[in-house]
Structure 1
Amino acid sequence: MRGTPCTSSKITKLEKGQGIIVYFIWKIQVFFQMPIFLELIPYLSDIYGLNSFFIVLYSMYKRTLKLSRNYSSFLFGARSTGKTTYLQKHFLPETTYFIDLLDVEIEDRLSQKPSLLKGILDKLDSNYTHVIIDEIQKVPRLLDVIHQYIQKNEKRFFFILTGSSAKKLKAGGADLLAGRAFLYNMFPLTYLELGEDFNISTYLHYGGLPGIYNLKDNSDKDRYLKSYGLMYIKEEVWNEHLVRKLNPFRSFLELASMANGEIINYKKISNQIKIDAKTIQRYYEILVDTLLGFTLNAFNTSIRKQLILSPKFFFIDPGIKRALNNTLKVQLIPKTYAYGKAFEHYIITQVFFLNHYLETDYKLYYLKTKDGAEIDLIVEKPDSSLICIEIKSTDNSTSVNTTNLKNLAEDLQCRNQLCLSQDLIPRKEGGVTYLHWQNGIEQIFKN
């Protein structure tokens, strides 16, 4: 059994002088975050015939995540969010050893005898500084070997371990290296990462999974997202023995996607599927644990109003949500209810992603009274100051859109009130700042 360096074998066929040129330019790109490498790749490819590893680098979007190269780390994320590609770009192939547990033979041998990993590590050349193990949750017992190795050889390697769920590792008895590794999450692409390729209509329809942006035909995008749903059920849920019966979970996924962005009603879904509410609650926990979704808790306040306290649930991606409830063929038309809900979903996921990537430690909430008045998003900063946010898909926002926001925010003594929309004209009126959503998100994360 053998792992591989973090590149294809063809790189060894580059002549020494060519390799030095590539290595030097790559060093500049990695350590100084300069775009020179990406700009030169087409020319280098023509001259030197660079392999597919570098073509992957060229075609990949620059991610916001900043993963440390000087400490061991876990990188968690849902399937196909770009974890492996990110690591291939982030770490030098000459110094990184890669073990892919999606390889059935490697997974089988390490599952039977995890101590084999120590033998692999002991035999690695001294030039290797990092070891990446992809899909670590497939063999959780490897963490014991890694933990012991770090204790005895603390400065020999930095380990980068990817997977879909920290809780799945813990359930397998793993201790996540007892604080000897940082924890990171990766999500679908943000509008910032897509840059010039971002289109709001495309994102609301198909989401931000990187694979979508390699496809030109909309029918192929539909097939990709449908396949994603099937693979999630098979690989992440059934093969990992997270549920006992598959059909009720399939039905749950469709109903949960239809209720995306709504307050969770365990009893209602329980009655529709004919299983107990506790099982429905566990199903939601599976979605959160596998990073396919997240909950938005109700803001707990002492204001004198009848408040709803149950959480809302959001899938991490509009495309995944639309695939699961079979609405990929349904066009989202501006100024409709469905478009407004999709736009709100999009904004909340972007804030959620950036909160993780920028490590701002904001707490995110919503607030809704029992008579229906609502604040779409409340951001609580570490200093306990609040940002109260109304989200509207309109391109012509008015004070009519923010009546509930102003009334509830006043009760909360929230002085920072934002209305994020597609209106291009910024202004402040009646205590509310009206901003285009891009400027609004920038304002949320402004120091």
Structure 2
Amino acid sequence: MFRRHLLPLLVEELQHSPAVALLGPRQVGKTTLALEAAQTIPSIYLDLESERDRAKLTQPELYLADHLDKLVILDEVHRAPGLFPVLRGLIDQARRNGKRAGQYLLLGSASLDLLQQSGETLAGRIAYMELGPLNALETPAEPIDTLWLRGGFPESLTASSTARSLRWRQNFIRTYLERDIPQFGPRIAAETLRRFWTMLAHHQSGLLNVAQLARNLGVDAKTAQSYIDLLCDLLLVHRLPPWHTNIGKRLVKSPKVYVRDSGLVHALLDIENKETLLSHPIVGASWEGFVVENLLACAPAQVQAYFYRTSGGAEIDLLLTWPSGALWAIEIKRSLTPKVERGFHAACEDLAPTYKFVVYPGQEAFPLGHEVQAIPLTMLCSQLAAST
């Protein structure tokens, strides 16, 4: 059992919001976390992929009205999009009766934008939380390279061998392509989407070029863009936006794109073990995506993330912005003797960040000069988690 850092935040949100949507990819641990959060309060759990549980909601107003005194956990809520108007009426009814929080916990495998109705019908009544794969702070007993190789899905990370872990991830990808993704959008050939997903893995942490991806896949740019949007809405792919501000420089305007879980990157590229990974051309880009995803998972919700790149070569891999205006500039290196490039110094001169870090795969922090600190991933994750 892993201790998820989202648990206390979820418990707190249930005490203040009528409905909470807990979103994340399949098999990431949403159900386990929801049941753990509900241990101390009266609750019922309905899995909407179960025919028996769906049958209970044939007349949802009647069934749910009998349980207004409990927290109702609705798993795989996208299976019943017609529920959202019903939930809205029941939430308003409970408010009139004096109950203003802790009524519904909705679990979904995609952003609620993809579920369409929910954002409109529950506006002002629902809070959103996202559960990603396990991160470095949630797996202190695991070597960081094991987490990087296998990714953060619990079943993959705890598999009995690297071969079993890879097999689990390959089955996960196949299930998504053949069964899950068709539920959320227009019918897309599984093999076409697999090729597209694999292209993104080869292009890990690179600038998004939709036209090039479309040409390689043999589709038009609009179709390729819809594939990216779908994978982002399924919380499987991340677009990291470029920093945008008027500083008198020509800035790169395309986002970076990466597959969010490093284990899925390696499965898509058929990388089974660490030795194969370290000799693969994707190694640096894979490490960068892994570090970025871990840092964003540990950062406070109000922190915004960007990258910075100019046409002149100034570059920061990850730029974190705080509501106070503070900037954290983060460079990512897969080397035990990291060196700061000229482009990073030039970017720091442009932006004057509050802190400058180089994340590397070592065990201790040390200064690199020019107020830049080399720091292990887990240490920087801890600093972010402790920040407000």
Q: Normalised by the size of structure 2, how large is the TM-score?
A: 0.89
Q: Provide closer, same or farther for how the CA distance between residues 88 and 173 of structure 1 changes in structure 2, counting only shifts above 3 A.
A: closer
Equivalent in the alignment of 2:380:
440
* Separation in structure 2 between the aligned mates of residue 255 and residue 233 of structure 1, nearest angstrom: 15
Q: Which amino acid is the alignment partner of residue 416 of structure 1?
A: Y
| 1:164 is aligned to 2:104 | no
Q: Name the counterpart of 1:391.
A: 332
Match of residue 410 from structure 1: 349
User: 2-side partners of 1:433 and 1:343: how far apart?
Assistant: 19
Runs of 4+ in 1 over 6 A off after TM superposition: none
1:81 equivalenced with 2:28 (yes/no): yes
In structure 1, the residue corresponding to 2:122 is in which secondary structure? Answer: helix
Q: CA deviation at 1:444?
A: 4.2
| Alignment of structure 1 residues 8-407 onto 2, 5 Å | 60-65=1-6, 66-67=9-10, 68-70=13-15, 71=17, 72-92=19-39, 95-107=42-54, 110=57, 113=58, 116-124=59-67, 129-154=70-95, 155=99, 158-165=103-110, 166-170=112-116, 172=117, 175=120, 177-196=122-141, 198-328=142-272, 331-332=275-276, 334=278, 338-355=282-299, 358-359=300-301, 361-398=302-339, 401-407=340-346
Query: Structure 1: which 5+ runs fail to align?
Result: 1-59
How far did residue 188 of structure 1 move? 0.2
Separation in 1, partners of 2:172, 2:379? 32
Give the superposition deviation at 1:387: 1.2
Root mean square deviation, CA, Å: 2.4
Deviation, 1:439, is: 2.3
Measure, in 1, the Cα distance between the counterparts of 2:43 and 2:316.
47
Q: Percent identity?
A: 24
Secondary structure of 2:358's aligned partner: strand
Bigger share in helix: 1
CA contact (8 A) 1:402 1:419 kept: no
CA displacement, residues 113-137 of structure 1 (integer Å, 9 cap, x when unaligned) = 4xx122222334x8x5211000111
Counterparts in 2 of 1:336 and 1:303: CA distance versus 1, 3 Å: farther
Q: What one-letter code is carried by the residue in structure 2 that aligns with 1:419?
A: V
SS in 2 for 1:178: coil
Q: 8 Å contact 1:143–1:174 — kept in the other structure?
A: no
Structure 1 pair 297/330, CA: closer, same or farther in 2 (3 Å)? same
Amino acid at match of 1:390: E
Cα distance in 1 for residues equivalent to 2:335 and 2:279: 7
User: 1:421 aligned to 360, 363, 366, which one?
Assistant: 360
CA contact (8 A) 1:117 1:145 kept: yes
Aligned residues: 375
Change (3 A) 1:241 1:407: closer
**Structure 1 residues 438 and 122: alpha-carbon distance in aligned structure 2, compared to 1, 3 A threshold:** closer
Distance 1:91 1:414, change over 3 A: same
Between Structure 1 and Structure 2, whose CA radius of gyration is higher? 1
1:370, CA displacement in angstroms?
A: 3.0
- 1:400-440: CA deviation from partner (whole Å, max 9, x where unpaired): x2322111110222242211213424125123222223223
Q: Tell me how far 1:93 sits from its aligned partner.
A: 7.5
CA contact (8 A) 1:387 1:416 kept: yes
The structure, 1 or 2, with the larger RCO (C-alpha pairs under 8 Å, 6+ apart) is: 2
Moved more, 178-187 or 416-425: 416-425
Aligned AA (1:190): N
State whether residues 70 and 103 of structure 2, in contact with CA within 8 Å, keep that contact through their aligned partners in structure 1: yes
Task: Give TM-score scaled by structure 1 length.
Answer: 0.78
**AA at the equivalent of 1:430:** H
